Amino acid sequence: MSSLVAEATSETSRIEHGWRLAIIAIGVILATLLEMIDTTIVNVALPNIQGNLGATIDEGTYIITGYIIANVIIVPLTPWLQARFGLKRYYLASILLFTFASVMCGVSGSFVELVIWRIVQGVGGGGLISSSQTILHDIFPADKQGAAQGIFAGGVIIGPTLGPLIGGYITDNLDWRWCFFVNVPIAIVAATTLLLVMRQVEKPRNMTIDGIGVALLATGLGSMQFVLDQGNRKDWFSDAAICEFSGLAVLGLLAFVFWELRAQTPIIDLRVLRYPGVWAGSLLGGTLGLALFGSLVVLPQYAQSQLGFTAFLSGQLLSVRAVAMALFLPFGARLATGGRVDPRVQIGIGMVLLGLSSLMLASVTTADTPFAAMIPSLIVAGLGLSQVFVPLQLSVFAGLKQSDVPKAASFFNLARQLGGSIATALLVTLLSRTTAQHQHALAGTLTLASSSINNFLQHHGGATPTNLQQLNQIVASQASALSYADVARISGYTTLVLAPFALVLRRSSTHADT
């Protein structure tokens, strides 16, 4: 009983009001945006970075892979690190490490140096995302949890969308190094406000570290992320390295689960997954990773390679979804906390809207789709996201003790990141495979018996090498457009199939048990 009272008292002492609440929330959302923007901002500038540092295309991908692997490993360790050093100290240390690594990335003079500092940056960034969600949950009163999770959702969704937009502008107008330097002023503001205003409530604990658990986790998740990032580029299991890392991923994760369930002081408490809201919410969070990060890779690629958009214009295309989501998010948060709508129904409807938005996009995907034709599907996607994130996050935390909140947050964010990585790997692979299939099928129709081919050749002066080459380019373009439509369609159907999992979540979503 005394421990429960102490925990309840500790939780109450975290709650803020008035200007203190507003300033801490601003600092946290800035830190969240730092992490989320950096997951995508470098993608746009990657060709420039490769050219400047003399790296090949395959080598250049490690600039992204190194960051994500470090990120994915740190996220599940965050609850232990928060307890060991104190939430405020760990959070500020993560911001400072992220900022220092950003500066070092920007001044890197070689490819190897940049990859090393990107890994360090990923370690700092991994400490931000789950800690941000935990802080917002702790400082907002129970009746304002919808607003707290709405703020977090805004950073999670808008951040990755801003990345390509900012990266596109920098790529078109500035040096690629500003993709890293742009983090510095934002980080300084975030760290300063939190240092001055945020309170250190809990005392750091003298905890033993589960070294074996950390090693097994790093081996399993790190190998898994490497396979997902590099698999398609290396033709998956035809490559020896992919086979080896796949084996390491399976063995590492199985050994990790076996060890953690028997360890006296586990580095990660897997028992939090006994709550249906946590495991079902994490599964749906992985689906959101599909909707968020899968489209962030495929849609700009389609816009730039197929439609001829600039990097900045493709970023503007993605911003349509972010703006729609931001506009509808307050409405979604109000529904989630008003008690009039079952949050499971709201999440289910949001997932259906997300699935339908992908199907709408597939229906207008052609070799020359105009910008305006894609706007309706992106608006529907923004509406769907606004109805999913807040009730889903509240449902994940519903019924949890305060000590379990950081653990649930880390699982939810890990699932979202892994969902995005899995989605990206699968969608890119599907894209390349279906493009080859469509090109083969279309090429089979290029015969003189076809009236359209005859008309084309007659109109352009016969079967000259130039005209035949032009025909091949048209076929390749049409095959690519068809494959992008296929990928959007598969994304839509996958989201619709997983929507019923919302029914597993808890009905109550506005209060957490203490």
Rounded to 5 degrees, φ, ψ at 232 are -65, -40
The rounded distance, in Å, linking the Cα atoms of 492 and 11 is: 40
Determine whether 288 is exposed, middle or buried from the number of CB atoms within 10 Å of its CB (0-12, 13-18, 19+): buried
Which of left, alpha, beta for 64 (phi over 0: left; psi -120 to 50: alpha)?
alpha
CA dihedral in degrees (78, 76, 223, 157; nearest 10)?
-90
The rounded distance, in Å, linking the Cα atoms of 120 and 323 is: 32
Q: Please report the pLDDT score of residue 511 as a whole number.
A: 43
The rounded distance, in Å, linking the Cα atoms of 302 and 71 is: 27
Q: Which residue do the tokens 């589960």 mark?
A: 210
Q: Which residues of the chain have pLDDT under 70?
A: 1-13, 56-61, 201-202, 290-297, 338-339, 442-475, 506-514
Q: Please report the pLDDT score of residue 3 as a whole number.
A: 42
Residues near 173 by beta carbon (within 8 Å), at least 6 away in sequence: none
SS (H, E, C) 360-394: HHHHHCCCCCCHHHHHHHHHHHHHHHHHHHHHHHH
Q: For the chain, how far is it from start to end, CA to CA, in angstroms?
A: 12
Q: Please report the pLDDT score of residue 324 as a whole number.
A: 87
Rg value, the chain, Cα: 24
Q: Please report the pLDDT score of residue 96 as a whole number.
A: 92
